[in-house]
Amino acid sequence: MNDLNKDFEKHEANLVDVSSKTPQTRNDQWTPLVITKETIDAEIERLASLPTPENGRRETLIVHPMARADIPTMAPGIQVRLSVLKPGESTAPFRHNATEVNFCIQGSGYTEIDGKKIAFGLHDVWNHPSYRIYTHHNDTDELQVRITYSNAPLLQFMDVYFAEGDAVEKKQEEAIEQAASDPRSVNPFGKIPVGDQGGHLVPYETLVNPECVESNPLLFKWNDVKGELDKLEALGQDYKGRRLYMLSNPATGRTNGITPNFFATITNRPGNIIDRPHRHVSASINYYFQGSGYSYVAGNKYEWKAGDLMFSAPGWAVHNHASNADVYELTIQDQPLNLLMESLLWQESMKKDAALLGAQQGFATNRAASK
């Protein structure tokens, strides 16, 4: 058998009577985790000691103990991968139908995505659009270390994850046959309004050829980001929000993502700042690359420092963060996906009701609105 033909076992559907029952809402919140700098450094050293892999990819998945064995992931929808390249090494071409966010935590080098060269350095962030061939390169005399965040777990859960470990460039054939001379192949009626609420009937031609949104790899240089981020210190101790900027990809529109699944924010947290407790259905993973502090998650205290990676907020767990010394951190969160799915419940203050962000009016801080 092959991927075009498969012998399926015969099954019958189960009919489950749920009359008069409320849908199950039991959600198992995954335990917060702190992966210490010492643990990460030891794994970096171990990976660097290995013989060069055939595909060049010295990589370790950071896996939560509550993850399914067949879907190794750090948060339910976020895969986290630690990658090492020694001087002069490169990875084999690779592509998959997942999107990624990369963060350089040591050294420098460059990535090629569909022939576009992205030269990166320490604490730079960049995205990988889906199904683009890419390679990583270390053209320096120092070790290169990256953390990669991917939405592969969701695709694996749906059994629709596809990866090519040694991808080769293929000339894309024209997806749609040019049929202007044959009116039988084109729906002559176009989009038809139905009712007076804005609904439409849309023909098959649109189904198989939806509007394309250009998705490009974008590089956010730490030197460019830091200067703007440090200006937020002027907000003072009385500011009720969080001193951060989202690294925004225009292809994600109103969902504020760096990829369609994830937002990436970089936070400047001055010393002795304690955030208000809040919660959201999106999960958060923080990498702290300066300073130290602690987090309370569902009443449990977790201490962290520079170089630690933390699964800091399971979905809908009440949490807040505090700094002992000035902190910089990268946060990856699956907020954009939840916003797009109209599932992004968010409670900015535990004294106020939750809101469905993106569908209802959100929250305001005590900072004047930016134009």
Residue-wise pLDDT for 37-69, tens only, equals 999 999 999 999 999 999 999 999 999 999 999
Q: What is the CA radius of gyration of the chain?
A: 23
Residue 171 DSSP SS3: coil
Strand partners, 321: 295
Distance CA 60, CA 44 (A): 9
pLDDT lower than 50: segments of the chain:
171-181, 371
pTM of the predicted model, to two decimals? 0.92
Strand partners, 127: 101
Task: Copy the structure tokens of residue 57.
Answer: 């990819």
Contact 74, 102 (CB under 8 A): no
pLDDT in tens, 3-43: 788 888 999 999 999 899 888 777 889 999 999 999 999 99
Task: Copy the structure tokens of residue 39.
Answer: 């643990």
Q: For the chain, which domains are there?
A: 33-163 (2.60.120.10), 219-349 (2.60.120.10)
Q: Are strands 192-194 and 199-201 parallel, antiparallel or unpaired?
A: antiparallel
Q: Which helix (H) or strand (E) holds 108?
A: none
Distance CA 316, CA 159 (A): 26
Q: What is the structure's pLDDT at 175?
A: 42
